[in-house]
Structure 1
Amino acid sequence: MSALRSDIWCGVFVRRHNDLGNMCVVARRGDPIAGQVFIEVDHLDGTRSLFTPAPMAGRPDDARLVFQRRFSRVEAAKVSERIAREIEFDPDLWVLSLDLRGDDVGIDLA
């Protein structure tokens, strides 16, 4: 089974969180077919977390996107700096921005 297109996955993620009452937006559009997806979570207490795609070796054999927690509740500048560095390396990157007081982003973690 092939992986779901990035634009469709991101659209569903944003819609699901907005339907749940969590503010979620596409902060940066990447390649619609196969762009990597980063999820930046603002915990509304001055801290942010960052979720990035898990390495291929740690993923199950199906088409789901699996993430790893890169940063957990750190200052916003650290997350922004990491995203900026990644965009220099991969201009096809998607960035989703989510306001969430808790820690359950609703994604599969490696």
Structure 2
Amino acid sequence: MQNLQTMEEIDAFINEHELTLLYISKVGCSVCHGLLPQVESLLLNYPNIKTGHIESTQVPEVAGRFNIFAVPVILVFVEGKEYLREARIVHMDLFEEKLNKIYKNMVG
């Protein structure tokens, strides 16, 4: 996952890639740090998804930009538009089903 540290980097990252996943977390969030390895492992099956990690304490304006009220948050963008959002408690099997549908529609 690429670390994104400014809103400019985040916007460019979303717009430069067809399929993008952003993982937004916070320092000291045990749920955030426990979920991240599971998401990274799952993404090995989806090589065409570009992934970025945002530490919300480093980029506080990310909360307002994406209407985030709790972390962790996973946002999936297709051609710059948000298609999937998972927040707080993420059920990995359901998330994988949704992600798989999006991926198959875009990649085949």
* Bin for the TM-score computed over the shorter chain: 0.3 to 0.5
More helix by percentage: 2
- Give the TM-score taking structure 1 as reference length: 0.37
Structure with greater contact order relative to length (CA < 8 Å, sep ≥ 6)? 1
More strand by percentage: 1
